Amino acid sequence: MADLYQFRETPEEPLDCLYVLKCSGVDPFGGLEFQTKEKRSLRQKAKALGPRGEKGEIISGECPLPIARRITFVGMGDEKELSHARLRSGLRRVVHQATKNREYQIGLAISVRIHGLSEVESRLIALREAAIADYTFDHFRSKKNEFDKIDGVHLIPLSGESEEDLGERLERVRMLRSSIYLARDLANRPGNDLTPEALASAARDMAEGVGNIRVTILGPKELQKEKCGGILAVSRGSAEEPRMIVLEHRPKKPKKSIVLVGKGVTFDAGGISLKPASGMGWMKFDMAGAATVIGVMRTIAELDLPIKVVGLIPTAENLPSGTAIKPGDIITMASGKTVEVDNTDAEGRLLLGDALHYAARFNPDVIFDFATLTGACVVALGHECAGIMGNDPALAEELKKLGEDVGERVWPLPLYEEYFPYLKSDWADMKNAGSRWGGALTAGAFLQQFVPEKVSWVHFDIAGVGYMEKEHNGFPIGGTGFGVVLISRYIERILENL
Ligand code: BES
Ligand code: MN
Ligand code: ZN
């Protein structure tokens, strides 16, 4: 929604349409700041049009108030079960409907309450979801959709919500929106455009744009110096050089230190252990973890939080060629541990192993890594939550709860020590792949070998949630930016609890 939310008491021109989210059996105007007289005529109109508020329902008519030409009720289902995902879908439907009808100036009347959340939390989520519901990626289309896009959204305030409250809430939403859209845009760029080098420039541009971030980029020479055998091994099949992107937000007197690691495989063909042709194009999204880290770093820098946050992005392209690594090869990782490459398609863990080891120098209290790491995680959890693994069950529980609240769900998976022997090698310290069974967990067990001692660590396998292969529950096709909100919120919460 181009310049979203010009908040005005009354729009100068009538809006093209006023969209009203309606739950079944609930008056959708009750909590909104309309005058009694206005509410009366809105209710009369609702009665005449007869929306029931069922999921998927869309009913339009003439708007009874001068604020808009038309009014459209969008059914949201039972409020007692209203989930974040359903709200996201509802707002996405508003955007589709408005675009279809060529409504450029719309109003939004949202006074629904997400199940289990307070009014304020619900409001923030509704505003954020409204703000990101219009995402499209048409950078590579010569005919842009500009004319079909909503370019003004007029928000109906809640009763008691001052202009100042709303202004502050919107400021926050705008900031998050930019970070989420950046993450989505990066994820959506194809492999020929977003090479490891281009990903590094994009990270640099972001850092220069917001300030408060120091950027260091390691190329092949520096990676060699750091003995990053995993990153170098993965990149060997490609003409594109690997990089490690280091983004440091270092406030004066930092309260804590957090390292965020993101898998940045700009395209994953599988290498010599080549993937099947069908659907391989989706592997341009194999840098969604990197996109998340860049999005989170942007938020942290913009809020200028007094916490040291470091983003580490090992990035490479995984292709087969005469110079590529082969099954049976043995490589030495930055930590000195040796790995027998059993399957060149298990490349993400090779990159991440080096980055996790590199993280130690920042003395982190916590390390989070984000990676589209295993198909097995998608088999287990589908597209509704990320799988998380780690060495700190309390932290995992906290993230699960927080994820539920902010609408980026994560589900803890086990990392029993019994999983590591699945990676036993006859020739090296470990193999990079086990059998089919427990694929998400053996990947986690592999990563754990490289996590610095005594550091809390959570691994987010976002293979099922980092991008969507078609519109899904209000997410657009392509990159989702999953994790940006959850981790930004987690870091802010640390400050609140200090
Ligand atoms: N990038 C893939 C994982 C993936 C699969 C992400 C589907 C998103 C959707 C990863 O590099 C990979 O190929 N993993 C292998 C590991 C196996 C060879 C041990 C997998 O999941 O099959
Ligand atoms: Mn792979
Ligand atoms: Zn991969």
Q: Is the pLDDT of residue 213 over 70?
A: yes
Q: How many CA atoms lie within 13 A of 444 on its CB side?
A: 26
Binding site membership of 342 for ligand 1 (Cβ less than 6 Å): no
Strand, helix or coil for residue 91: helix
pLDDT in tens, 408-434: 999 999 999 999 999 999 999 999 999
pLDDT in tens, 88-112: 999 999 999 999 999 999 999 999 9
pLDDT of amino acid 2: 40
Taking residues 187-204, report their average pLDDT.
98
**Helix, strand, coil percentages, rounded to 5, for the chain:** 40, 20, 40
The pLDDT > 70 percentage for the chain reads 97
Q: Is the pLDDT of residue 407 over 80?
A: yes
Distance, CA 378 to ligand 1 centroid (Å)?
Answer: 10
Question: Does 263 participate in catalysis according to the annotation?
Answer: no
Q: What CATH number does the domain located at 180-497 have?
A: 3.40.630.10
Rounded CA-CA distance 421/488 in Å is: 35
Q: Is the pLDDT of residue 10 over 70?
A: no
- Which residues face 75 on adjacent strands? 22
Taking residues 127-135, report their average pLDDT.
94
Distance, CA 346 to ligand 1 centroid (Å)?
Answer: 6
Class of residue 145 by CB neighbours under 10 A (exposed 0-12, middle 13-18, buried 19+): exposed
CB-CB contact of 301 with 212 (8 Å):
yes
| Rounded CA Rg of the chain | 24
Rounded CA-CA distance 18/73 in Å is: 9
Distance, CA 230 to ligand 2 centroid (Å)?
Answer: 14
Q: Name the closest ligand to CA 461.
A: 1
> With the C-alpha atoms ordered 139, 140, 143, 149, is the resulting torsion angle positive or negative?
negative
List the structure tokens of 3: 């310049």
Q: Is the pLDDT of residue 146 over 90?
A: no
Rounded CA-CA distance 125/169 in Å is: 10
Task: Report domain extents, the chain.
Answer: 3-160, 180-497
Residue nearest ligand 1's atom 3 by CA: 374
Taking residues 325-331, report their average pLDDT.
98
CB-CB contact of 400 with 408 (8 Å):
no
Nearest atom (ligand 1) to Cα of 373: 3
Rounded CA-CA distance 261/247 in Å is: 10
pLDDT of amino acid 289: 99
- Average model confidence (pLDDT) across the chain: 95
Taking residues 276-281, report their average pLDDT.
98
- 10-14, 133-137, 362-366, 476-480: least confidently modelled range: 10-14
Among candidate residues 341, 340, 357, 345, the one with its CA nearest the CA of residue 429: 340
List the structure tokens of 46: 């609702």
CB-CB contact of 328 with 340 (8 Å):
yes
Is pTM beyond 0.85? Reply is yes
Residues 6 or more apart whose CB falls under 8 angstroms from that of 326 comprise 272, 341, 344
Tell me the pLDDT band of 8, cut-offs 50, 70 and 90.
Answer: very low
Strand, helix or coil for residue 4: coil
Better-predicted residue by pLDDT, 142 or 373: 373
Any idea what DSSP says for residue 173? H
Among candidate residues 365, 356, 360, 355, the one with its CA nearest the CA of residue 456: 365
Q: Is the pLDDT of residue 3 over 60?
A: no
Residues 6 or more apart whose CB falls under 8 angstroms from that of 445 comprise 415, 419, 420, 422, 423
Any idea what DSSP says for residue 419? G
pLDDT of amino acid 4: 53
Distance, CA 329 to ligand 2 centroid (Å)?
Answer: 16
Taking residues 288-305, report their average pLDDT.
98
Q: Is the pLDDT of residue 6 over 60?
A: no
CB-CB contact of 218 with 246 (8 Å):
yes
Catalytic residue among 275, 337, 400, 489: 275
> With the C-alpha atoms ordered 45, 51, 52, 55, is the resulting torsion angle positive or negative?
negative
Topology of 3-160 in CATH?
Answer: Leucine Aminopeptidase, subunit E; domain 1 (3.40.220)
Nearest atom (ligand 1) to Cα of 439: 19
Question: Does 169 participate in catalysis according to the annotation?
Answer: no
Rounded CA-CA distance 351/191 in Å is: 18
pLDDT of amino acid 147: 59
Binding site membership of 286 for ligand 1 (Cβ less than 6 Å): yes
Residue in this structure with the two tokens 């939403």, named with its chain if needed: 173
Would you put residue 473 in left (φ > 0), alpha (ψ -120 to 50) or beta? left
Nearest atom (ligand 1) to Cα of 442: 19
pLDDT of amino acid 233: 99
Q: Is the pLDDT of residue 333 over 70?
A: yes
Binding site membership of 234 for ligand 1 (Cβ less than 6 Å): no
Binding site membership of 347 for ligand 1 (Cβ less than 6 Å): yes
Name residues with Cβ closer than 5 Å to ligand 2, which is an ion.
268, 345, 347
Distance, CA 363 to ligand 1 centroid (Å)?
Answer: 30
Binding site membership of 268 for ligand 1 (Cβ less than 6 Å): yes
Q: Is the pLDDT of residue 9 over 80?
A: no
Nearest atom (ligand 1) to Cα of 466: 8
- How far apart, in Å, are the Cα atoms of 110 and each of 75, 122, 243, 441? 12, 10, 45, 41
Tell me the pLDDT band of 1, cut-offs 50, 70 and 90.
Answer: very low
Rounded CA-CA distance 181/266 in Å is: 18
Among candidate residues 371, 322, 327, the one with its CA nearest the CA of residue 349: 371
Q: Name the closest ligand to CA 280.
A: 1
Residue nearest ligand 1's atom 8 by CA: 463
Binding site membership of 264 for ligand 1 (Cβ less than 6 Å): no
Taking residues 433-458, report their average pLDDT.
97
Distance, CA 266 to ligand 3 centroid (Å)?
Answer: 9
Among candidate residues 101, 57, 88, 92, the one with its CA nearest the CA of residue 75: 57
Pocket mutation for ligand 1, best pick of 278, 341, 373, 467 (most atoms within 8 Å of C-beta): 373
Alpha carbon 152 to chain centroid, angstroms: 25
Pocket mutation for ligand 1, best pick of 283, 284, 285, 374 (most atoms within 8 Å of C-beta): 374
Taking residues 170-184, report their average pLDDT.
95
Q: Which backbone phi and psi does 283 adopt, to 5 degrees?
A: -75, 5
Residue nearest ligand 1's atom 14 by CA: 374
